[in-house]
């Protein structure tokens, strides 16, 4: 990512109570970068919440000695979030469920990855000193 700027780079404990603060920070950056209003009030908060809760609950299994690293990167016209946990990783393709089908719409779970994919321009997994997910939102 040549010419990219890091907007924030934080490490948080594996506790879901930290999610709201990180999301608020991301939302502020989104507004400062003058992204469309709904991208700052809906797309970023929901998609980043999903990535963080996956990392905390599934990746790190809420273990207090494990941390989640979250970076926000401004790359040209894109806002990129990288969320890295210390877990075993998961296969994005095999976790891909359409929660809108008649048999799935009444299920309590299974909307997290779906929402990330619908609300971001791209969702990729990567390995970099842990297992990560990269969310990219273009202006």
Partner 1 sequence: MSFSIKKQGEVVVVDVEGQLIVGNRQELKQKVLDELEKGEKKFLIDFSQTGYIDSSGLGVLVSLSKKIREQGGELRLANLNDDLQTLFELTKLDTLFQISDTRERALESF
Residues that bind partner 1 (CB under 8 A): 16-17, 19-20, 38, 41-42, 45-46, 49-50, 53, 57, 99-100, 105-112, 114-115, 118-119
Smallest gap from Cβ 15 to partner 1, in A, equals: 9
Closest distance to partner 1 from the beta carbon of 12 (Å): 13
Nearer to partner 1, 91 or 103 (CB): 103
Residue 80 Cβ, how far from partner 1 at the closest point, in Å?
A: 20
Take residue 23 and report the two structure tokens written for it.
């999301």
Nearer to partner 1, 75 or 125 (CB): 125
Q: Which is nearer to partner 1, 3 or 64 (CB)?
A: 64
Residues 69-105 as b/e (b if ≥16 CB within 10 A, e otherwise) read: bbbbbbeeebbbbbbbbbbeebeeeeeeeeeeeeeee
Nearer to partner 1, 109 or 129 (CB): 109
Minimum distance from CB of 95 to partner 1 (Å)?
A: 12
What is the residue-wise DSSP string for 18-82? GHHHHHHHHHHHHHHTT--HHIIIIIHHHHHHHHHHIIIIIISTT-TT-EEEEEEEEETTEEEEE
Q: Compute the least distance from the CB of residue 41 to partner 1, in Å.
A: 5
Q: Which two tokens stand for residue 114?
A: 């779906």
Which is nearer to partner 1, 2 or 102 (by Cβ)? 102
Q: Which two tokens stand for residue 74?
A: 């401004």
């Amino acid at each position: 990512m040549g010419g990219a700027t890091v907007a924030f780079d934080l490490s948080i404990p594996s506790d879901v109570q930290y999610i709201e603060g990180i999301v608020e920070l991301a939302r502020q950056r989104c507004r400062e970068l003058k992204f469309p209003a709904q991208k700052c009030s809906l797309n970023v908060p929901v998609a980043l919440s999903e990535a963080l809760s996956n990392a905390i609950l599934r990746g790190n299994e809420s273990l207090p000695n494990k941390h989640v690293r979250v970076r926000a990167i401004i790359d040209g016209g894109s806002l990129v979030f990288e969320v890295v946990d210390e877990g075993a990783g998961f296969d994005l393709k095999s976790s891909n469920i359409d929660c809108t089908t008649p048999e799935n719409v009444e299920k309590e779970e299974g909307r997290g990855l779906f929402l990330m994919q619908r609300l971001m321009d791209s969702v990729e997994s990567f390995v970099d000193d842990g297992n990560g997910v990269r969310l990219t939102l273009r202006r």
